[in-house]
Amino acid sequence: MSTPSIPTSSVSSLGKVAVLFGGTSAERDISILSGTGVLEALRARGVDAHAFDPAERELVELKREGFARCFIALHGRHGEDGTVQGALELLGIPYTGSGVMASSVAMDKVMTKRIWVADGLPTPKYVRLAADQQSREQVRVVPDLLGLPLIVKPPREGSSIGVTKVQGYSEMQDAVTLSAKYDADVLCEEFIEGEEVTCAVLGHGLDAQALPVVRIAAPEGAYDYQNKYFTDDVKYHCPSGLPEAEEREIQRIALAAYRTLGCRGWGRADVMIRASDRKPFLLEMNTSPGMTTHSLVPMSARAVGIAYEDLCVRVLASAALDSEGKV
């Protein structure tokens, strides 16, 4: 899947580009890291790219200032949940990544699971606790349904924010309280004991392709916010070192998960491989993946000969609008 550098003539046709990063979500700091990397990469390839923080400027300025397309390097709410995508649709400015509906659905892990389950794709069992279902009595019975340990997390946040691994009944209430600080709903999920991997996807529809799988080895299995972004303790393996059949199966379900949600441009599926039987389970789909120095999509792309700068240009070149009929 190697790709040559984008010709200079093609780069110039991309026009004036806004890299959207920062924003107002709990993932603002990570977005700034991602966006800064993308901005520098695009400029290194000769793209007329400019920083744009929606937390500091109104999106309508994009139209006033003549931007031809946007690279969305926003993470979390108001960035990858369909809201910015909808605004750009109204402004008529093509943007990277999935459209309004796919972005909105993929941001909500409960809705994502419902679609995957309906399509027969493997995902851990779960219980959704709405705002009026979080009494001590209701919270206490969740381990009876999912077993222990289990995971408690806000369904519409990313970067492991507000996530707790619950080992016993006594920890449930604190875990739910923490998650509820970030989201009115709380997602309780069966814990899959095993290896964590991730699989990036580039493209659209039947032309979409899965990149090599990245296997994640975190200290004591703690692939949390701190370890993801601010330490070098996590080890990433690409090639993954998995048996070829396992790698192909993970790529297959990642592609299926991407397509059934209607994603386009690029995305990244996070997957757990259960140790007991090596069965993979889909955790979530990221429609605006991280692009920091620790990020996994660039790592996977490098494994097939796509340099970071070329990956950024390739994603930018795929920018589109829902109204163009490409969803």
Report, as residue numbers or ranges, the catalytic residues: 27, 159, 229, 268, 270, 284, 286, 290
Coil, strand, or helix at residue 197?
strand
Token digits of residue 245: 């059949």
Cβ density class 125-144: b for 16+ within 10 Å, e for less: ebbbbeeeebeeeebeebbe
Nearest to 72 by CA among 43, 91, 94, 56: 94
| Helices 100-107 + 109-118 axis angle, to 10 | 100
Distance CA 15, CA 18 (A): 10
Token digits of residue 173: 């209430």
Distance CA 320, CA 98 (A): 9
With beta carbons less than 8 A apart as the criterion, state whether 208 and 214 touch. Answer: no
